[in-house]
Structure 1
Amino acid sequence: MKGVNHFLVVFAFLALASTLASASDPSSLMDFCVALNGPKNAVFVNGKFCKDPKLATADDFFFSGLDKAGNTSNAVGSKVTPVNADQIPGLNTLGISLVRIDYAPYGGLNPPHYHPRGTEILVVIKGELYVGFVTSNPDNRFFTKVLKTGDVFVFPVGLIHFQLNIGKTDAIAFAALSSQNPGVITIANAVFGSNPPINPDVLTKAFKLEKKVVEYLQTQF
């Protein structure tokens, strides 16, 4: 009888834990979700309507084109080609996405940025990349590595990271992310290119720069 009672207590605890787990909030797929009292102007949290499964086809789970190089003729010398639920409708709700990143020879940069909703795992297909990420406050510890063809590196969710081509030829990497919509916040763009602009007094003090330098940087974005 004692053993039976022990089993019932364990079973009740597991049932309660399961109930609490199912009642928790789902992971966010958007920057914010403003609550509405009615359906007017409402959107689904995952941002997509769902097709009747009976009408799904193989093409809903297919994408072609990652063999094509991205155009790196831009200020940073890199191009990110995404493959998410916008490109493959069947990815909706599955919690994964993919990108191809092309880097111009020596100096092509995927600038410091972070993904608020996804961890990234990157594999180098061609070239040599200097990569790294920085941990959160107060340590701000810097993890860095030089990657060559076939090497893999992980950037944990929400941490600032980058990749720089240090080779003499173009470089290519593929990255998978643990969200269908991981989001991306490029640090320089967000800080100096916000709309409307952040008051230069804020950035002058935060970055310990002269105000004219901050104002110049804001004009660049």
Structure 2
Amino acid sequence: MKGTIPDDVDADADAVPRKGKVVTTKPPPILPDELIEEILLRIPARSLVRLRNSVCSSWRTLISSSQFAKDHLRRSMAVDPALTHPRIACYGQTYLYPTIGVFSVRSVMGNPPREPTKVVPYDYEGSFRLIIGSCNGLMCLHDEEGQAMLWNPCTGFTSQPLEIGCLLSICGFGYDHVNDKYKLFAVVKKKSGESVSRMFTFGPNSTWRTIQDFPHKLGDRNYRGSMVDLVGLFQGFR
């Protein structure tokens, strides 16, 4: 009967076809989602950014998720322990274009100091040249007009500028792992001359929140840096 398969066709679809035999083919194998994610985690961040708009929607969603970013950072730090070493970043124009130079603490303490271990072009069109701090690959920058923003040197991502409205006297940038948020802590002077402590949480619809009046008089110097005891500070000011 036309269209029927002969009785002597091998059941094994992968067998070598012989004359008079009808051979079916198996569909291509499908990789488990867990294996796909493990492969993508091994790709450098810059390459992932370039490929993000060229892959399927499911991969693009995975790459763009905050959990994937955390896993990628965690794996990168495990593979290269040097990423966890203390470093110093500074803005400079010693090249033909503005840059952010990264120095190891050991190189800065050397005599004479060494060149930066890494130089990242900084082509943001603005005056964000004051570095507040860095955490998990993100840098928090501040300008002289009373604004702050986040910048990812690897991906080029910049957040919307945060209107602070005044110059920061004492400030620090860090990550609150309890609430999974990046926060900026600052002590600012009010028009009355009094100083207040404020906390800003980066994210949609975020605003400043006054914590308490700062009990000490501020001098003329500005202090910037990264938070040290993030857990104790952020848990107390949630």
Normalising by structure 2, what TM-score? 0.20
TM-score (normalizing by structure 1): 0.21
Higher relative contact order (CA 8 A, sep 6+): 1
